[in-house]
């Protein structure tokens, strides 16, 4: 999953970038509100973390412009402690969730996981589930019939994307756009290798190849 982090406080942004990378997210970082308006509506983000106090343009205006232009991406806002008015204005402007500074990074990770599950129709489940698999996002492994199957970091990122998009044809270029940040070179051969590793671990039928179209996860495995 690819996230946009908009935060002008550099030490916090650094900490969050490192933590979110360890959680298996590809993250682009911006510090300026005007840049965020543009990049947030042109790049295919799966979720956006938005600080409200920003140079260039206040976060509330950034969010209002995104929503006015029809951007439906889930947005989690970061608000100042004790500012209930900010939280209310943020929710009115179209935020999906908020966190009050200071917060523990673990709380942010759990809220992101919940928001992503919810925005992909997995409303009533405490963990990500698809095709008979449970993804343990804390331990970055997958569980089937009570047994752990270990994953590399790259396999975990790919499988999480597949499990949030079951029974959908996903082209290699689409997957690359959502698995790598804007700075990373995208190599579809590497994707193929990771798909083959997942097939070896989970069974060949879990990920089908649709010639000329891409991959289909969980089409037969229910
Ligand atoms: Ca700020």
The answer as to whether 187 is a domain residue is yes
**Residue with more model confidence, 82 or 47:** 47
pLDDT of 63-119, one tens digit each?
999 999 999 999 999 998 888 999 999 999 999 999 999 999 999 999 999 999 999
Last residue of a domain, one of 90, 120, 150: 120
Q: What's the rounded Cα separation, in Å, for the pair 96 and 162?
A: 23
Last residue of a domain, one of 120, 148, 183: 120
Question: What is residue 222's predicted lDDT score, i.e. its pLDDT?
Answer: 43
140 and 110 fall within a common domain: no
Q: Which residues of 131-168 are buried (b: 16+ CB within 10 A; e: fewer)?
A: bebbbebeebbbeeeeeeeebeebbbbbbbbbbbbbee
Range of the domain at 209: 128-217
Judged by DSSP in three states, 153 sits in: helix
Q: Domain with 134 in it: what CATH number?
A: 1.10.10.10
Q: How far is the CA of 7 from the centre of ligand 1 (A)?
A: 6
pLDDT of 139-148, one tens digit each?
999 999 999 9
pLDDT of 20-44, one tens digit each?
999 999 999 999 999 999 999 999 9
Instruction: Provide CB contacts within 8 A for 58, sequence distance 6+.
Output: 33, 52
32 and 88 fall within a common domain: yes
* The 75-79 sheet, strands edge to edge: 26-30, 2-6, 47-51, 75-79, 97-100
Question: What is residue 220's predicted lDDT score, i.e. its pLDDT?
Answer: 73
Q: Which residues of 110-119 are buried (b: 16+ CB within 10 A; e: fewer)?
A: ebbbbbbbeb
User: What domain count does the chain have?
Assistant: 2
Q: How far is the CA of 108 from the centre of ligand 1 (A)?
A: 17
The answer as to whether 222 is a domain residue is no
114 and 193 fall within a common domain: no
48 and 136 fall within a common domain: no
Q: How far is the CA of 12 from the centre of ligand 1 (A)?
A: 10
Q: How far is the CA of 8 from the centre of ligand 1 (A)?
A: 5
132 and 76 fall within a common domain: no
Q: How far is the CA of 19 from the centre of ligand 1 (A)?
A: 19
Judged by DSSP in three states, 152 sits in: coil
78 and 169 fall within a common domain: no
Q: How far is the CA of 192 from the centre of ligand 1 (A)?
A: 40
């Amino acid at each position: 999953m690819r996230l946009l982090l908009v935060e002008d406080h550099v030490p916090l942004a650094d900490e969050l970038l490192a933590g979110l990378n360890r959680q298996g997210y590809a993250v682009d970082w911006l510090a300026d509100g005007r840049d965020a308006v543009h990049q947030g509506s042109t790049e295919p983000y799966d979720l956006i973390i938005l600080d409200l106090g920003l140079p260039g343009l206040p976060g509330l205006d950034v969010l209002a412009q995104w929503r006015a232009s029809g951007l439906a991406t889930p947005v989690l806002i970061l608000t100042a402690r004790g500012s209930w008015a900010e939280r209310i204005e943020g929710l009115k402007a179209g935020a999906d969730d908020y966190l009050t500074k200071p917060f523990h990074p673990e709380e942010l990770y759990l809220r992101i996981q919940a928001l992503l599950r919810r925005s992909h129709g997995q409303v009533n489940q405490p963990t990500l589930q698809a095709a008979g698999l449970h993804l343990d996002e804390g331990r970055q492994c997958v569980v089937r019939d009570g047994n752990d199957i270990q994953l590399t970091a790259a396999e975990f990122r790919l499988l999480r994307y597949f499990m949030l998009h079951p029974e959908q044809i996903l082209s290699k270029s689409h997957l690359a756009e959502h698995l790598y940040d804007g700075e990373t070179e995208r190599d579809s051969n590497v994707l193929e290798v990771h798909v083959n590793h997942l097939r070896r671990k989970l069974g060949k039928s879990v990920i089908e190849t649709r010639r000329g179209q891409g991959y289909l996860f969980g089409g037969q495995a229910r």
